[in-house]
Amino acid sequence: MANKEKQNSGEGVFIGGLIAGALLGCAYGLLSTPRTGEGNRRHLQARGQQLVADTREKVTETTAGVRETVGGALGEVKQNVEQTTSSLRAGAEDALITARSGAAHASEDVRARVDGAVATVRETGEHIGETARQRANALTDIRLDHLTEDEPASY
């Protein structure tokens, strides 16, 4: 506890010395200045106006720099978006061409299979027709054979 009081006491002395030094420095500055009070006020006013003008200039320069940086970044973003859009468009066109080509091949394959099936049906129909003609002729021959034997035909 005693150490803490000594520490607080030391801090108080330091702060008191700091304040006293600042006051003495201000007093010395006012007493040793070659200008009068009015001259000091004009000088401080001019210096304040100069600081405001300098600050405005710096703000204007900084704003212009920020606009330039943002404008450049915006241009890069636009360029990247355009490149990505172009790339996606080209990819979509390639996919469409591939899909159309695949559809054309599939259509040709289906057409060939249908043509093959139609040919098979025709051949089968012709075969059935030929077989039917042969059987009809055979039946006709059998009936004619019965008729030539002078037997009555039974149906």
Q: For 106-140, how does the pLDDT look when each residue is reduced to its tens digit (9 = 90+)? A: 999 999 999 999 999 999 999 999 998 998 888 88
Calpha distance 96→86 (Å, rounded) = 15
First to last CA, the chain: 143
Residue of 9 and 81 predicted with greater confidence: 81
pLDDT-above-90 percentage for the chain: 42
Tell the residue number behind the tokens 């803490």, with chain if given.
Answer: 4
Least confident of 84-88, 95-99, 148-152: 148-152
Cα 63 versus chain centre, distance: 30
pLDDT in tens, 8-42: 667 888 888 889 999 888 888 777 777 777 887 88
